[in-house]
Structure 1
Amino acid sequence: MDGYAKTARARVINLDSDERLRISEVLQVLKVGKSTFFDGIKSGRYPTADGRDGRMPYWLTSTIRPYARSAGGAQ
């Protein structure tokens, strides 16, 4: 190690492909914080997870796409 912190690169998310998105990727696409997103799920503004891999929820790009486009966050 050289003593410098390594920064993680944000993955480029293509909403036109069929993929599973983790919570961090959904937040990146929708440009909202975690608390805002989970409050939005409770109020019905954002969709619930499409499934889980073990304990980790995921959303399909096809589920997030309409929300991202209406929020102006389409990539």
Structure 2
Amino acid sequence: MSYASILKITVKAPIHPITSEYIRDTIDRAEKENASLLIIALNTPGGLDTSMREIIERILSSKTPVLVYVSPSGARAASAG
């Protein structure tokens, strides 16, 4: 019996180039490992517009489905830019 692989990361930081690289690298890993889903738990005050655009483009081009949610209770995902 095989089980689906689900990856989960938590981002608790402003959105900047290092955050973008971390998320993009994780998506690359999910694709390489043939994960069935990547979950991103997000809590951010916002950040750089260019970094957010890079993240969005990578999520949209991902072969692995990506689920992003704001967590934990009381967390936020403020505007980047």
TM-score under structure 2 normalisation?
0.28
Write 1 or 2 for the structure with the bigger share of strand: 2
Larger C-alpha radius of gyration, 1 or 2? 1
